[in-house]
Homo-oligomer: A and B are copies of this chain.
Amino acid sequence: MEIVLIGSGSVATHLGLALQSKGIVIKQVFSRNSENARNLADKLGTTYIDDIEDLYMDADIYIYALKDSALKTVLRKMEIPNGVHVHTAGSIPMSDFEGFTSRYGVFYPLQSFSIQKTVDFSNIPICIEACEAEVQQILYDLAKLLTDKIYTVNSEQRKKLHLAAVFACNFTNYMYDIASQILDDSDIQFEIIQPLIAETAEKIKTLSPFDAQTGPAVRFDETTIARHLHMLNKTPEISKIYSILSKEIHSRHKGS
């Protein structure tokens, strides 16, 4: 099985390394940025190109791990090889491949990757979608090398999943960031709050987030809410976030 990676960011990097460790041959890396392309090719011990005209034409699978806006641009510039073409993006429909190739799909690992941090793919859900059964089987077999958590998710669902992930990951991390700013301001080490963060994430493995909700907003504790808003009066944006979230938690739990 030979694969070409189109892209050299964190998804391409982690996916490339993980697939290679399972015996898949990463034949070539493409990036318009030749330094990035070389860096990843070095990590994988393979070759790189920064001109799409030099693309290797005989791979089994081409994985496009690009910025959302770049997929169609790249496809338009390429001579499209045979082989299966998949992208790794949450918010791009599979149909973006239509008209370019007849064998395509999506291979979306639902995780937030950072270049700096190694990942254990066995714990990462991979969402697959394919234009036909034969491609579906190829993507399933590829995913199976990495994880047992394989989900068939259509483009409409994947869009929703990506949106949900913004809340569960990006906005959650921003809540941590606000907490860390508040602690910094009072010379309190961030580490003191880490067990609470870990337990909050752990809890929803056994309780629904609705049932796990605690805090002044769900208790309708107006005295504490007013005291907190007063403490935030020098940071009006954060105060506004506190107000809106408290109001929504309150109205979701009212009468429950």
Contacts and interface: CB of A to CB of B under 8 A. Distances in A.
A188 interface: yes
A58 interface: no
A218 B249 contact: no
A172 B200 contact: yes
A26 B36 CA distance: 63
Interface centre among A111, A183, A195 (most CB of B within 10 A): A195
Interface in A141-168: 149, 151, 153, 156-157, 159-161, 163-168
B112 A200 contact: yes
Nearest to A174: B249
Q: How large is the interface on A (under 10, 10 to 19, 20 to 34, 35 or more residues)?
A: 35 or more
A165 B170 CA distance: 18
A193 B166 CA distance: 11
A205 interface: yes
B186 A156 contact: yes
Number of copies: 2
Interface string A168-185: 111111111111101101
A207 B217 CA distance: 29
Nearest to A245: B171
A200 B173 contact: yes
Interface string A190-220: 1011111111111111111110111111100
Given A163-B231, A203-B117, A172 B197 contact: yes
A230 to B, nearest CB: 10
Given A168-B197, A171-B245, A172-B197, A163 B182 contact: yes
8 contacts: A110-B193, A161-B183, A161-B186, A167-B176, A169-B215, A173-B203, A179-B209, A201-B201
Contact of A196 (B112, B185, B193, B228): B112
A79 interface: no
A91 interface: yes
A68 interface: yes
Contacts of A194: 204-205
B160 A210 contact: no
A69 interface: yes
A18 interface: no
